[in-house]
Amino acid sequence: MVAEPLPHVPDEIAAGDRNKELTSLAGSMRRRGVSQAAIEAALLTENAERCKPPLPDDEVQGIAHSVARYPPAKAEAREAEANHQGKGPLQQKNGFGPSVIAAFLRGEGLPKGLVFGYADRRWLELLEKLQGADDPQAAFEALATKTIREQIEKASSIPPPGRHRPVYSINDLLTYDLPVPRNVVADFIPGESVVVVGGVEGIGKSYAMLDLCLAVADGKLWQGLAVSQTAVLLVDKENRAVRLKQRVLKLGGTADLPLTIAEQITHNLDADEFVDELVHLAMQAAAGLIVLDSLADFLGEVDENSNSEMAGVARRLREASERSGAAIVVIHHVPKSTAGTAAQTLRGASAFAGGVDVITQVTRRGNTLTIRQEKNRIAEPLAFDTKMIFTDDNLTFERIGEVERGQPELPLNAVDLAISDVLKGGAWHQSNEVKTAVTKVTNVTEKTVRTHLNQLKERGLIETDPAEPSQSSGKPYAVRRI
């Protein structure tokens, strides 16, 4: 068995990096086969000695619990990776390796009868020091106190690829055993993903997502789709507790379900501290699914129409998903210009839509909801109808017909057709000319025309001149129909 180098842990871990560093260390240990108990003990030691200020013990224990859900990396994958590093692997016999080091850091000493087989020069130097001592065990303990982390880090010039290491070789990528997260809801909510659910206010999308939360917490099918049972964290800033209680009861929720509800969160998506706080809540709840209702309540000072700021929102949500190991579902509103149509889009800057994994649009006709994915990075997009069945005390969702797969072809609406008419013939036109012409014939604002131009480009129906300013620059640009 190969003992791999542990990741470097800085001498002092600042508040904004505590979850990230401890999760990275825990993941590295788990991939090497270290047990949850050993990971927890090592993290508690690191937290007490290096985190300034330390995290609460329950949060550290939550990190160990969350990471331990993943299976250890296969031995052959670890051996292939160690060999790739250009230095012979550090052989492990009689239990020497990360678990022994973790026990040593807890003050439990070292097991007797250790046998070392180091091929790397630096490790040979360490071995020579130990073998030349009158008491090798005592010498090793004394030396390890000062140098063990440095020696482990130096044992490999290239650490294994991981979430927080942005550069690695293709050989690292193909030989390293990266666990594939399980779907929370089959093909609908992938594991460790960011999912946005958009729809007009008041049509029932929050009810539908609450129904999904209850199904996931209970491990029951949702709309005929398989579910991986897991605890759920619902952060709901939109509904008061009394209203939420009524909804849960109406949907048949019971008190024994692993569903944790938070009405408030201190930070918003305009600050990196939001990630730490959300991960902390998720760890406390041991949640595999997080639902935020609704996005506007979490934006803080973020300008919803700024591509750069909304890209930051998407980045923070992705980081929170990766660090917590949970899928995150965000409920969002849609612009009036496309609301309720087959071409319905998310409100705000397009960079946000580009930065998430799944976009699901919800529209309503009578008591029937159409749930359609316009984007899914992991699987074929799904679309289905579900009927809302109301009784005096209950609400149920009953799927109508089969689930359709594949990207639907969206129809052009009046604004799209007006843009297409201005651009007919394939000649280049300035965007400000297009906006002026379309607003005259449709009575919509220039902002709405700009949104439709972005959508038509994403659908491959128009193109912009790469030599001109970009669409996000705010300056006029050249555009033509393809």
Confidence band (pLDDT; 50, 70, 90) for 247? very high
How far is Cα 311 from Cα 352, in angstroms, rounded to an integer? 5
- Region 106-130 average pLDDT: 46
Range ranked top by mean pLDDT from 138-147, 313-322, 421-430: 313-322
Question: pLDDT band at 205, cuts 50/70/90?
Answer: very high
Query: H or E segment at 433?
Result: helix 431-442
Q: What is the pLDDT of residues 356-379, one digit of tens each?
A: 999 999 999 899 999 999 899 998
CB 285 within 8 A of CB 233: yes
Q: Residue with structure tokens 């316009």? A: 374
Walk me through the domains of the chain, giving residue ranges and CATH numbers.
13-175 (no CATH), 194-405 (3.40.50.300), 414-481 (1.10.10.10)
Question: Is residue 58 predicted with pLDDT exceeding 60?
Answer: yes
pLDDT at 145: 53
Which pLDDT does position 34 carry in this prediction? 78
What are residue 395's phi and psi, to 5 degrees?
-135, 125
Instruction: Count Cβ atoms below 10 Å from residue 258 Cβ, excluding itself.
Output: 17
pLDDT at res. 317? 97
Percent of the chain with pLDDT over 70: 73
CA distances from 138 to 104, 142, 146, 366 (A): 12, 6, 13, 78
Residue 192 zone, left/alpha/beta (φ > 0; ψ -120 to 50; rest): left
Residue 263 has pLDDT above 70, yes or no: yes
The number of C-alpha atoms within 13 Å of 456 and in the hemisphere containing its C-beta is: 25
d(CA 204, CA 212): 12
Name 394's Cβ contacts closer than 8 Å, sequence gap at least 6.
Answer: 250, 251, 252
The b-or-e profile of 41-57 (16+ CB within 10 A means b, else e) is bbbbebbeebbeebbee
Which pLDDT value is given to residue 195? 97
Q: How does residue 251 score in pLDDT terms, banded at 50, 70 and 90?
A: very high
d(CA 18, CA 24): 10
Q: Is the pLDDT of residue 146 over 80?
A: no
> Could you tell me which residues come within 8 angstroms of residue 129 by beta carbon, excluding any fewer than 6 positions away?
139, 143
Instruction: For 92, list phi and psi in degrees, rounded to 5.
Output: -115, 125
What crossing angle do the helices spanning 307-324 and 18-31 adopt, rounded to 10°?
Answer: 40
Angle ∠(189,193,195) on CA atoms, nearest 5? 60
pLDDT band for 155, please (50, 70, 90 cuts): very low
Mean pLDDT of 399-422: 76
Residue 235 has pLDDT above 90, yes or no: yes
What pLDDT score was predicted for residue 217?
94
Question: What is the DSSP track for 307-335?
Answer: HHHHHHHHHHHHHHHHHHT-EEEEEE---
Average of per-residue pLDDT across 257-268:
91
Residue 47: pLDDT over 50: yes
C-alpha–C-alpha distance, residues 97 and 90, integer Å: 9
Q: What is the DSSP string of 158-188?
A: SPPP-TT-----HHHHHHS-PPPPPPSBTTT
Of the ranges 74-78, 133-137, 159-163, 278-282, the best mean pLDDT one: 278-282
**Rounded CA gap, 172 and 170, in Å?**
5
Alpha-carbon gap, residue 454 to 326, rounded angstroms: 31
Q: Are strands 395-405 and 382-390 parallel, antiparallel or unpaired?
A: antiparallel
Q: Which strands, in side-by-side order, build the sheet including 478-481?
A: 429-430, 478-481, 462-464
Mean pLDDT of the 211-221 span: 95
**Quick check: 459 pLDDT over 50?**
yes
Three-state SS string across 186-222, please?
CCCECCCCEEEEEECCCCCHHHHHHHHHHHHHHCCCE
CA distances from 396 to 7, 248, 251 (A): 49, 11, 6
pLDDT band at 161 (very low <50, low <70, confident <90, very high): very low
Least confident of 89-103, 242-256, 306-320, 443-457: 89-103
The contacts of residue 298 (CB under 8 Å, 6+ apart) are 235, 237, 265, 268, 269, 274, 292
Task: Pull the structure tokens for residue 465.
Answer: 């001149």
Q: Which pair of structure tokens corresponds to residue 227? A: 């579910």
pLDDT in tens, 295-330: 999 999 999 989 999 999 999 999 999 888 899 999
**Cα separations (Å) of 427 from 421, 435, 462, 464, 469?**
12, 16, 11, 11, 18
Specify whether the CB–CB gap between 346 and 356 falls below 8 A.
Answer: no
Nearest to 344 by CA among 365, 366, 317, 373: 373
Residue 281 identity (one-letter amino acid): L
Average pLDDT, the chain: 78
pLDDT (tens digit per residue) in 411-425: 567 787 788 888 877
